[in-house]
């Protein structure tokens, strides 16, 4: 009975989480387009509904009803699999993000996280690395030169930045003393880690943006060089899945930034979930602002930034943090 | 070897310009610029509520124009169809009773045309011209296939004066040998005078 | 073998090679206008200038005028030479009209190419341009004299190469004019080559005038099938229509040229009444059903009357593929045939010629031109195989001598000896000639004294390189074998002597390899009449047009249980046939052909087929409805249709074709690509008719004193059935007339210009009489003209008594 109830609660949580994610993702698209337009003195979507608010729905209908084309020369199975990999891994990452402190429901304590893994951080990393497969395989299976180049770029870029991303979080784990995201959030009940670890924060944000292939790191899909990169050959809802993956990824990014550096759901006055949402939203806004401002990096600059700047700096940062903890007795 | 280097306008950066601070400054300036844009009124004009007058040389729907004296300009030379990168022009040349070469039929598939303007550039008679009318949209793709009667317009388009048959040396009902621009009267082969 | 250096590359060339040719061997194409490999050099255009830096010649010189010599160092890229050429181009362009857009040469114009290559992009000359009045040169060649750059290629070709005089150069200075003294039809049947040879657009192709640009054409190497010489040509098609032929250089066959029959005879492939629908008794139906119906009819006939009751006739014009599959089908199923000749005499003639053609004697058309003395027996080159006349002209140009022994009033565009001999005397003359050549004094046959056999024999014996040319149309097998004997006799006295037969049909040589004992349509009709054959399959053989007895044919066809016709030309038989299956002409099917000297040649398919857009669009815009199927794409390659008729089911016929070709004849080997273009293995052909020759025929042909021999003969235009369908050539055709010697006209009580009616066995042929003093006495020559119902006497060589001739009043 207990198991059954647990299962039901879990399913409800998953449903709510997924529903929220997808809804937010679609409106994030609208927000990005609208905001980007304003940053560039344009109007943005304004035809579907007032302020173009129905645009995401129109987009979804269009994507769902468009003809799905699998190129003759493509490897059909992998071609169909790749977009799912991207979307699913992005959504699964949310499984370990704590939305707030435990609440009591029907006399039971219900954690506000789908599953509180004690290696949550590693789980996030594992999934984000898996997401690369979607990009690389999608590019390869399309059997088109642009897609292949995009896929290769994606793989290379993620390998490079994954390292910096991982290293940038080592100080956080050192400070929190745990891999569990819930524990990390709890460790920031006082001071958010952004204050203690500004360098880590900067490295994390940069690497995470590179991981999610957003401007200025969108080399895998660089339109003006590669058509659309790894998803050149995709159409209809399979393209939609790539798209969805990207915007879910933005939310994941916001959530992780909040969890690792901004104190997660901690905050005064407002309920915890709202705090978390707010923080995610702010991160997303900043990412859109970046997109509206910065040009794309050149490939050599991208690699130089990753290997020559971010990795050394994060290594030094780890040593410094370690020394600090050891000698200053900080914990 | 050094003289073989490609010349660019790029000036070497001054030390101050390449320092971390100036980079940071540039970043901040960039973000500030875009942030300021938020407060500006968008420059976009909403189409179709507002229709801009396009420059006469902008490239959209293609027409076949006429000579100043109102006769078809196109001589069906196939240069436009040869140069068209997407092969969307086809025609059949033929001779009219008056001696002029003309297109018996002429077809442009606007479903394929990329409005590059190469056809206009290749045309030796100024017959084919792109116009600013870009609102050439059809629901049925077949109606985008334009035949000669759809393409032919009255008037000379952008070139008000050129008349190919005034210059070409071929005989037509209007001009015989020696009657075209810059032509001497026909040679008398029977004469032996130098 | 001088060795010289061109652009730092060394090359060794035969003495007498011009520098421009030596460079070409290195792959360096020096610009040229007046130089042409077939015409040689004149140095008229000055555009081939190169710099000679070392060796016997120095400075800027014309590379087409200078023989390659040892130690020469030549630079084609020398700055001064390049500048020189650039100026020459600009000079040549001074008077050039501004009409490239309406010029049919545009797109394959040498002047355009060299103007662009020379870097002359902008006209600086502001003066008046010289203009010329054009001439109407007939239906084949369009004249636009303004475009001339005075390279003299046309007049050299027309007068020197072909030997005709009616086109040439007039005027002086900058006013030279190339044309006729008065507008009018060009006389030469080789005039179409002016189009290929003129480097600018002065002469352009009139039938394809304003049809399109070369870059839009589908172009493939093809062959001419309008006579047995098998000239090489490039066929162009556009919008599913064959639009142009150009000569394709083959230095072993036709050189650089073709005749006008070959150049303009293509229209049959695209005309509106070409049958494209399968029919059962005149009712159109889907081709698969009709094929199945025809197959069923054949099976039923075989079941009821045995396999021999099915007979096949095939055209000697059909591809090797078709002949092979037909042969295989007849062999496998025991059908009668295939017959690939009309009459017994024609079949025997052809096979005699092929079996007499020993490998050491066979010469090609090109090798003919190197002969010193040519003896033409029973052939009328200009009318039967036009390019042969051009070949003979080259013999004469090189100082050789041409003797024609033929009863017809043979005309050639140069001086030659003509012995107008009565057909019945030809055998005796040849025999006497052979004896004389062998050194025996022959008893002079009964011929006029002007025909001095002893002198001719001496002349041939003294000739370093004699060639015997022999026709197979009007002769009998006996004389054809004698021609072979004559060549062999010459060979015994010389090391080199050639033998060259002309045959009836582009693939007649291959048709001769169908059987050892040839079968003719005549023999098949015999079998139909005695009830032995109940079903006839006619493969691309329009018996209606070509069989020499239409009445007998019709009666015989009525006796048949069933007629199956496979063809690509329209004929009343198509609608009468129980089953009609449309086939593809060579432009669609491609294939192989063996020409009269045994050379195996290939034609590539030029287009996929289907009704021309000109027709589907009613010469307006092509229809706007689109379909995956092309209208009128039903016709099949004839070999496919035959394979479907003979096969058990609708299996892929390709393997069947492969075995049929492999089994066709040991002399024909298609397994290696190198074999194409070469002569087949003549050694592998049975030569049992050779040496003695068959016994002389009974004296049936020895015309009684009050009789004439009526010969139904070929003309250049109007008699060859396929080219006769070309609208462009109809204006070239002369009206059909019966040619007789003037004395003969008087003797027979006829009148020149008045029609004569020949009645024989109840058949009549009426045709106007024309006097031709070159004709032999006792001979009357009538063309197998498409405007004449000549298919009446069952033979193309018959004896007519004086009483059977009747002068008509008008
Ligand atoms: S504009 Fe360009 S694409 Fe369009 S018809 Fe002309 S050449 Fe072709
Ligand atoms: S280039 Fe000009 S003249 Fe030539 S076919 Fe095209 S439209 Fe006609
Ligand atoms: S007409 Fe042609 S071939 Fe003859 S001289 Fe002029 S350019 Fe040469
Ligand atoms: S000579 Fe015969 S094969 Fe050659 S082009 Fe003329 S008709 Fe054709
Ligand atoms: S090609 Fe040598 S002068 Fe014309």
Percentage of chain A lying above the pLDDT 90 cut: 1
- Chain B residues touching chain A at CB-CB below 8 Å: 30-31, 33-35, 37-38, 40-44, 46
pLDDT range class, residue C692, cuts 50, 70, 90: very low
In chain B the domains, ranked by start, together with CATH numbers, are: 62-167 (3.30.70.3270)
Are residue C40 and residue C104 in the same domain, yes or no? no
- Predicted local distance difference test score (pLDDT) of residue C691: 43
Q: Nearest CA to CA, how far is A43 from chain B (Å)?
A: 6
User: Among C790, C797, C793, which residue's Cα sits nearest to residue C719?
Assistant: C790
For residue C117, report the distance from its CA to the centre of ligand 1, in Å: 27
Q: Atom 8 (ligand 2): residue with closest C-alpha? A: B74
Residue C782 · residue C408 · CB < 8 Å: no
Is the pLDDT confidence value at C695 over 70?
A: no
Decide if pLDDT at C335 tops 90: yes
- Residues A231, B154: Cα–Cα separation, whole Å: 47
The whole-number average pLDDT for the span C22-46 is: 94
Q: Do B171 and C146 touch (CB under 8 A)?
A: no
Cross-strand pairs, B106: B91
Residue A261 CA to residue A168 CA, distance in Å, equals: 11
Residue pLDDT, tens place only, C741-770: 999 999 998 999 999 999 988 889 999 999
- Cα–Cα distance, C410 to C77 (Å, whole number): 52
Q: If DSSP codes are grouped into helix, strand and coil, which group holds residue C520? A: coil
**Phi, psi angle pair for C170, to nearest 5°:** -135, 165
The one-character DSSP state at B143 is: G
Same-domain status, C131 and C77? no
Q: Which residue has the higher pLDDT, C174 or C56?
A: C56
Contact in structure between B177 and B186 (CB atoms under 8 Å): yes
pLDDT at A329: 63
Query: Of the candidates A20, A36, A93, A78, which has an alpha carbon nearest to the alpha carbon of residue A214?
Result: A36
* Of the candidates B124, B115, B26, B106, the residue with the CA atom closest to the CA atom of residue B62: B115
The CA B89 to ligand 1 mean position distance, Å, reads: 8
Q: Are C524 and C336 in contact (CB under 8 A)?
A: yes
Q: Where are the domains of chain A?
A: 53-327
Residue-range definition of the domain harbouring residue C423: 349-503
Query: pLDDT tens-digit profile of C241-284?
Result: 999 999 999 999 999 999 999 999 999 999 999 999 999 998 99
CA B163 – CA B167 distance, rounded (Å): 7
Residue carrying the six token digits 């004294």: C449
Tokens of B68: 């100043």
CA distance C73 to C70: 9
Task: With respect to residue C572, please indicate whether it lies within any of the assigned structural domains.
Answer: no
CA closest to B37 among chain A residues: A39
Angle of helix A2-39 versus helix A236-261 axis, rounded to 10: 100
At C438, list the tokens. Answer: 């062998």
Q: B4 pLDDT band (50/70/90 cuts)?
A: low
Collapse the DSSP code of C733 into the 3-class scheme (helix H, G, I; strand E, B; otherwise coil) and give the result.
Answer: coil
Whether residues C70 and C161 share a domain: the answer is no
Q: Whole-angstrom Cα distance, residue A29 to residue A38?
A: 14
Dihedral of alpha carbons C435, C438, C441, C444, sign: positive
Same-domain pairing of C384 and C447: yes
Peptide bond into C546 cis (omega under 30): no
- In the structure encoding, which two tokens stand for residue C506, read together? 């582009």
C138: confidence class by pLDDT, cuts 50, 70, 90: very high
Model confidence pLDDT, tens digit, residues A168-187:
888 888 888 888 887 888 78
Instruction: Tell me which of B113-122, C456-465, C619-628 is least confident.
Output: C619-628
Cβ contacts of A39 on chain B, cutoff 8 Å: 34-35, 37-38
Question: C179 and C236 in contact (C-beta within 8 Å)?
Answer: no
For residue C34, what is the domain's CATH number?
3.10.20.740
**Tokens coding C457:** 């024999």
Q: How far apart are CA C12 and CA C29, in angstroms?
A: 17
Query: Last residue of some domain: C503, C538, C563?
Result: C503
> Does C104 lie in the same domain as C87?
no
B8 pLDDT higher than 70: no
Beta-carbon contacts of residue C675 (< 8 Å; ≥ 6 apart): C600, C669
**What CA dihedral angle connects C736, C742, C743 and C745, to 10 degrees?**
40
What is the structure's pLDDT at C262?
A: 96
Span C225-230, average pLDDT: 96
DSSP label at C504? Answer: S
Beta strand ranges found along B30-182 (DSSP E): 60-64, 89-95, 101-109, 128-131, 145-146
- Answer whether B76 contacts ligand 2 (Cβ < 6 A): yes
How many other C-beta atoms are found inside a 10 Å radius of the C-beta of residue B138? Answer: 11
Pairing of β C310-314 and β C336-339: parallel
Q: Is residue C670 part of a domain?
A: no
Measured by CA distance, the residue closest to atom 2 of ligand 2 is B123
Helix axes A272-293, B20-37, angle to 10 degrees: 110
Q: Which of C97, C134, C209 sits opposite B168 (nearest CB)?
A: C97
Higher pLDDT pick, C731 / A69: C731
Inform me whether the pLDDT recorded for C650 exceeds 80. no
3-state secondary structure of C740: strand
Using a CB-CB cut-off of 8 Å, the residues of chain B touching A42 are 42-44
C307 in Cβ contact with C334 (< 8 Å): yes
Q: How many domains does chain C have?
A: 4
More confident residue, A184 or C301: C301
Residue nearest (by alpha carbon) to ligand 2 atom 4: B77
Q: Is C321 exposed, middle or buried (0-12, 13-18, 19+ CB in 10 A)?
A: buried
> Which of C503, C524, C554 corresponds to the end of one domain?
C503
CATH number at residue C726: 2.40.40.20
Sign of CA dihedral C647, C648, C650, C653: negative
Residues C188 and C229 reside in one and the same domain = yes
- Pocket probe mutation, ligand 3, options C151, C161, C167, max atoms within 8 Å of Cβ: C151
- Beta-strand relationship, C73-75 and C3-6: parallel
Q: How many CB atoms lie within 10 A of CB C71?
A: 11
State the average pLDDT over residues C580-586. Answer: 96
Encode C658-687: b = buried (16+ Cβ within 10 Å), e = exposed: eebbeebbebbbbeeeebeeebbbbeebee
Residue C483 has pLDDT above 90, yes or no: yes
The residue written with tokens 């920031």 in the block is: A188
| Residues C365-399: b if buried by 16+ CB within 10 A, e if exposed | bebbbbbbbbbbbbbbbbbbbbbbbbbbbbbbeee
* Mutation choice for B interface testing from C94, C98, C207, C216 by most B CBs within 10 A: C98
* pLDDT higher than 60, residue C198: yes
Across the interface, do B183 and C173 touch by the CB < 8 Å criterion? no
If one compares C602 and A178, the residue with the highest pLDDT of the two is C602
Same domain, yes or no: C722 and C787: yes
Q: Which ligand is nearest to the CA of C29?
A: 5
Give chain C's length.
Answer: 810
Per-residue pLDDT tens digits for A10-35: 888 888 888 888 888 888 888 888 88
- My answer on whether C43 and C147 are in the same domain is no
Residue C279 C-alpha, separation from nearest chain B C-alpha, in angstroms: 33
Confidence of residue B44 (pLDDT cuts 50, 70, 90): confident
Mean pLDDT of A102-107: 72
* Distance to chain A for B64, nearest Cα, Å: 34
* pLDDT of res. A172: 85
Residue B12 has pLDDT above 80, yes or no: no
On whether the CB atoms of residues C524 and C699 are closer than 8 A, the answer is no
Q: What is the mean pLDDT of chain A?
A: 84
What is the DSSP-derived secondary structure letter of residue A305? I
CB contact under 8 Å between A289 and B37, yes or no, is no
Res. C318 pLDDT band, cuts 50 70 90: very high
Q: From its phi and psi, is residue C238 left (phi > 0), alpha (psi between -120 and 50) or beta?
A: beta
| Tens of pLDDT, residues C681-691 | 998 887 765 44
Q: What is the DSSP string of A92-148?
A: HGGGG---SS-EEETTEEE-SSS---TTHHHHHHHHHHHHHHHHHHHHHHTT-HHHH
Q: How far is CA A59 from the centre of its chain?
A: 22
Q: Whose CA is nearest to atom 8 of ligand 4?
A: C262
Q: How many Cβ pairs within 8 Å bridge chains B and C?
A: 104
Is residue C674 pLDDT above 90, yes or no?
no
Tell whether the model's pLDDT for residue C540 goes beyond 90: yes
> Per-residue pLDDT tens for A236-247?
888 888 888 888
| Residue of chain C nearest B187, judged by CA positions | C132
Residues B38, A293: C-beta atoms closer than 8 Å? no
Tell me what percent of chain A is helix, strand and coil, each rounded to the nearest 5. Answer: 75, 0, 25
Q: Tell me what the mean pLDDT of segment C327-355 comes to.
A: 92
**Whether the predicted pLDDT of C440 surpasses 80:** no
Distance from CA of A294 to the nearest CA of B (A): 8
- Whether C260 maps to a domain, the answer reads yes
Query: How high is the ipTM of this complex?
Result: 0.88
The verdict on C79 and C159 lying in the same domain is no
The answer to whether residue C341 sits within a structural domain is no
pLDDT beyond 50 at C693: no
Res. C700: pLDDT tops 70? no
Query: What distance in Å separates the CA atoms of residue C238 and residue C219, rounded to the nearest whole number?
Result: 9
CB C154 near ligand 3, within 6 Å? yes
Which one has a higher pLDDT value, C502 or A291? C502
Average pLDDT, chain C: 91
Q: Are residues C76 and C104 in the same domain?
A: no
Residue at a domain's end among C247, C269, C291:
C269
CB–CB contacts below 8 A, A to B: 33
pLDDT above 90 (res A280): no
pLDDT at residue C702, rounded to an integer? 53
Q: Judge whether residue C19 has pLDDT over 50.
A: yes
Reported confidence tier of residue C369, pLDDT bands at 50, 70, 90 = confident
Running DSSP on this structure, what letter comes out for residue C192?
A: T
Nearest CA in chain A to B29: A293
Q: Using alpha carbons only, what angle is made at residue C92 by residues C202 and C95, rounded to the nearest 5 degrees?
A: 70
Tell me if B151 CB under 6 Å of ligand 2. Answer: no
Q: How close are the terminal C-alpha atoms of chain C, in Å?
A: 69
Give nearest CA residue, ligand 2 atom 6. B80
Which of C227, C593, C716 maximizes ligand 4 atoms within 8 Å of its Cβ, making it the mutation to test the pocket? Answer: C227
Please, which residues have CB within 8 angstroms of residue C702's CB and are 6 or more apart in sequence?
Answer: C424
Cα separation of C337 and B26, whole Å? 95
Cβ of C96 below 6 Å from ligand 3? no
The answer to whether the beta carbons of residues C559 and C190 sit under 8 Å apart is: no
Residue C556 lies in a domain: no
Compute the distance between CA of residue C797 and CA of residue A125 in angstroms, rounded to an integer.
Answer: 100
Q: What is the mean pLDDT of residues C68-83?
A: 94
* Cβ burial C150-160 (10 Å sphere, 16+ → b, else e): bbbbbbbbbbe
Whole-number Å distance between alpha carbons of C383 and C733: 12
The verdict on C249 and C361 lying in the same domain is no
Do residues C45 and C33 touch, judged by C-beta distance below 8 A?
yes
Distance, CA of C246 to CA of C606 (rounded, Å): 13
Kindly give, in sequence order, each residue whose CB lies less than 8 Å from that of residue B104, ignoring residues fewer than 6 positions away: B76, B91, B92, B93, B94, C619, C620
Query: Mind giving me the DSSP string for C463-495?
Result: -SSEEEEE-SSSS-HHHHHHHHHHHHHHHHHSS
Q: What is the pLDDT of residues C240-251, one digit of tens each?
A: 999 999 999 999
Any idea what the CATH number is for the domain that residue C470 is in?
Answer: 3.40.228.10
**By C-alpha distance, which of A61, A71, A67, A77 is closest to A235?**
A67
- Could you tell me if the CB of C33 is within 6 A of ligand 5? yes
Is the pLDDT at B19 greater than 80, yes or no?
A: no
On whether both C149 and C84 belong to a single domain, the answer is: no
In the DSSP assignment, the letter for residue C599 is B
β-partners of residue C468 are C375, C499
Centroid of ligand 2 to alpha carbon of C89 (angstroms) = 26
Mutate to test the pocket of ligand 1, among B57, B82, B87, B117 (most ligand atoms within 8 A of CB): B117
Question: Is the whole-model pTM more than 0.90?
Answer: no
């Amino acid at each position: 009975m207990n198991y059954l109830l647990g299962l039901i609660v879990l399913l409800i949580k998953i449903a709510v989480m997924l529903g929220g994610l997808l809804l937010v993702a679609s409106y994030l698209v609208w927000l990005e387009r609208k905001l980007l337009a304003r940053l560039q003195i344009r109007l943005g979507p304004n035809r579907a509904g007032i302020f173009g608010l129905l645009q995401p729905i129109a987009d979804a209908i269009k994507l769902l009803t468009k003809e799905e084309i699998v190129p003759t020369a493509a490897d059909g199975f992998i071609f169909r699999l790749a977009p799912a990999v991207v979307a699913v891994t992005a959504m699964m990452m949310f499984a370990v993000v704590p939305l707030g402190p435990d609440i009591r429901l029907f006399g039971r304590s219900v954690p506000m996280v789908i599953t509180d893994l004690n290696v949550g951080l590693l789980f996030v990393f594992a999934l984000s690395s898996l997401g690369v497969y979607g990009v690389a395989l999608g590019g390869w299976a399309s059997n088109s030169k642009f897609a292949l180049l995009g896929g290769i770029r994606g793989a290379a870029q993620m390998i490079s930045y994954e390292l910096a991303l991982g290293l940038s979080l080592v100080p956080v784990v050192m400070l929190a003393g745990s891999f569990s995201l819930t524990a990390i959030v709890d460790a920031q009940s006082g001071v958010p880690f952004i204050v203690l670890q500004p360098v880590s924060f900067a490295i994390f944000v940069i690497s995470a943006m590179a991981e999610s292939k957003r401007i200025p790191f969108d080399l895998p899909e660089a339109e003006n060089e590669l058509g659309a990169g790894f998803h050149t050959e995709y159409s209809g809802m399979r393209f939609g899945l790539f798209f969805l993956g990207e915007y879910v990824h933005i939310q994941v990014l916001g959530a992780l930034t909040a969890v690792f550096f901004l104190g997660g759901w901690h905050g005064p006055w407002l309920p915890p979930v709202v705090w978390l949402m707010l923080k995610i939203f702010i991160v997303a806004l900043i990412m859109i602002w970046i997109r509206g401002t910065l040009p794309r990096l050149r490939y050599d600059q991208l690699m130089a930034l990753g290997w020559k700047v971010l990795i050394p700096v994060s290594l030094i940062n780890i040593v410094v943090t370690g020394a600090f903890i050891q000698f200053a007795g900080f914990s | 070897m050094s003289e073989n280097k490609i010349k660019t306008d790029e000036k070497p950066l001054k030390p101050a310009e390449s320092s971390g601070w100036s980079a940071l400054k540039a970043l901040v300036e960039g973000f500030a610029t875009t942030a300021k844009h938020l407060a500006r009124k968008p420059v976009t004009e909403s189409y179709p509520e507002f229709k801009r007058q396009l420059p006469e040389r902008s490239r959209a729907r293609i027409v076949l124009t006429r000579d100043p004296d109102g006769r078809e300009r196109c001589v069906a030379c196939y240069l436009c169809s040869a140069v068209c990168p997407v092969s969307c022009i086809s025609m059949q040349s033929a001779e009219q009773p008056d001696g002029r070469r003309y297109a018996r039929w002429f077809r442009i598939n606007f479903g394929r045309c990329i409005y590059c303007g190469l056809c206009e550039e290749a045309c030796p008679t100024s017959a084919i011209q792109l116009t600013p009318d870009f609102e050439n949209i059809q629901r049925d793709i077949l109606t985008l296939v334009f035949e000669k009667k759809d393409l032919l317009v009255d008037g000379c388009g952008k070139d008000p004066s050129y008349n190919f048959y005034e210059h070409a040396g071929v005989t037509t009902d209007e001009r015989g040998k020696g009657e075209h621009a810059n032509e001497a009267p026909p040679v008398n082969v029977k004469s032996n005078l130098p | 073998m001088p060795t010289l250096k061109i652009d730092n590359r060394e090359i060794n060339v035969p003495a007498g090679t011009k520098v421009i040719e030596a460079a070409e061997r290195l792959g360096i194409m020096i610009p040229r206008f007046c130089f042409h490999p077939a015409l040689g050099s004149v140095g008229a255009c000055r555009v081939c200038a190169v710099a000679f830096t070392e060796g016997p010649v120095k400075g800027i010189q014309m590379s087409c005028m200078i023989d390659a010599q040892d130690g020469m160092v030549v630079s084609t890229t020398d700055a001064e030479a390049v500048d020189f050429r650039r100026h020459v181009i600009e000079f040549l362009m001074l008077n050039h009209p501004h009409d490239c857009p309406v010029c049919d040469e545009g797109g394959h114009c040498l002047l355009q190419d060299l103007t662009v290559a020379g870097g002359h992009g902008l006209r600086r000359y502001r003066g008046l341009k010289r203009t010329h009045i054009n001439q109407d040169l007939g239906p084949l060649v369009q004249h636009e004299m303004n475009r001339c750059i005075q390279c003299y290629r046309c007049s050299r070709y027309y007068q020197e190469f072909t030997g005709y005089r009616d086109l040439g150069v007039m005027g002086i200075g900058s006013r030279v004019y190339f044309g006729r003294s008065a507008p009018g039809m060009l006389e030469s049947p080789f005039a179409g080559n002016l189009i290929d040879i003129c480097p600018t657009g002065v002469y352009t192709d009139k039938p394809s005038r304003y049809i399109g640009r070369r870059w839009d054409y589908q172009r493939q190497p093809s062959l001419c099938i309008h006579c047995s010489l098998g000239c090489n040509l490039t066929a162009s098609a556009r919008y599913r229509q064959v639009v142009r032929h150009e000569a394709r250089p083959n230095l072993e066959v036709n050189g650089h040229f073709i005749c006008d029959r070959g150049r303009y005879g293509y229209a049959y492939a695209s005309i509106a009444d070409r049958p494209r629908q399968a029919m059962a008794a005149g009712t159109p139906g889907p081709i698969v059903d009709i094929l199945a119906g025809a197959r069923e009819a054949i099976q039923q006939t075989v079941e009821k009357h045995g396999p021999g009751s099915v007979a096949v006739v095939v055209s000697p014009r059909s591809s090797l593929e078709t002949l092979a599959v037909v042969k295989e089908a007849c062999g496998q199923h025991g059908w009668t045939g295939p017959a690939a000749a009309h009459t017994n005499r024609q079949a025997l003639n052809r096979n005699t010629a092929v079996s007499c053609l020993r490998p050491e004697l066979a010469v090609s058309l090109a090798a003919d031109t190197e002969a010193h003395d040519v003896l033409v027996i029973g052939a009328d080159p200009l009318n039967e195989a036009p390019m042969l006349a051009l070949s003979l002209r080259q013999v004469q140009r090189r100082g050789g001598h041409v003797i024609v022994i033929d009863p017809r009033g043979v005309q050639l565009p140069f001086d030659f000896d003509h012995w107008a001999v009565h057909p019945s005397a030809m055998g005796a003359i040849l025999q006497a000639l052979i004896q004389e050549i062998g050194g025996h004094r022959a008893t002079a046959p009964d011929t006029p004294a002007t025909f001095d056999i002893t002198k001719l024999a001496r002349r041939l014996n003294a000739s370093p390189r004699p060639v015997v040319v022999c026709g197979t149309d009007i002769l009998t097998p006996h004389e054809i074998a004698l021609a072979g004997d004559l060549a062999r006799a010459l060979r015994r006295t010389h090391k080199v002597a050639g033998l060259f037969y002309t045959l009836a049909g582009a693939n007649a040589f291959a048709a001769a390899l169908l059987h050892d004992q040839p079968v003719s349509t005549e023999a098949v009709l015999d079998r139909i009449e005695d009830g032995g054959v109940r079903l006839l399959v006619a493969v691309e053989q329009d018996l209606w047009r070509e069989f020499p007895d239409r009445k007998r044919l019709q009666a015989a066809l009525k006796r048949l249980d069933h007629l199956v016709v496979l063809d690509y030309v329209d004929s009343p038989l198509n609608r009468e046939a129980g089953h009609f299956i449309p086939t593809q002409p060579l432009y669609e099917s491609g294939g192989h052909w063996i020409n009269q000297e045994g050379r195996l040649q290939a034609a590539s398919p030029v287009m996929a087929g289907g009704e021309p857009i000109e027709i589907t669009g009613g010469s307006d815009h092509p229809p706007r409805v689109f379909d995956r199927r092309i209208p009128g794409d039903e016709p099949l390659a004839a070999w496919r249709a035959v394979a479907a008729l003979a096969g058990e089911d609708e299996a892929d016929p390709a393997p069947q074709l492969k075995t049929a070709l492999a089994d066709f004849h040991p002399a024909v080997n298609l397994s290696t690509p190198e074999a194409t273009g070469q002569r087949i293995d003549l050694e592998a052909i049975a030569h049992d008719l050779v040496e003695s020759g068959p016994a002389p025929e009974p004296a049936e042909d020895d015309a009684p004193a009050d009789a004439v021999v009526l010969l139904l003969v070929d003309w250049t235009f109007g008699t060859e059935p396929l080219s006769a369908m070309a609208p462009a050539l109809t204006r070239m055709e002369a009206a059909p007339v019966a040619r007789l010697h003037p004395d003969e006209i008087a003797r027979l009580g006829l009148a020149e210009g008045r029609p004569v009616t020949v009645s024989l066995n109840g058949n009549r042929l009426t045709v106007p009489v024309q006097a031709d003093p070159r004709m032999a006495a006792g001979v009357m020559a009538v063309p197998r003209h498409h405007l004449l119902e000549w298919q009446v006497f069952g033979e193309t060589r018959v004896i007519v008594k004086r009483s059977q001739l009747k002068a008509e009043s008008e």
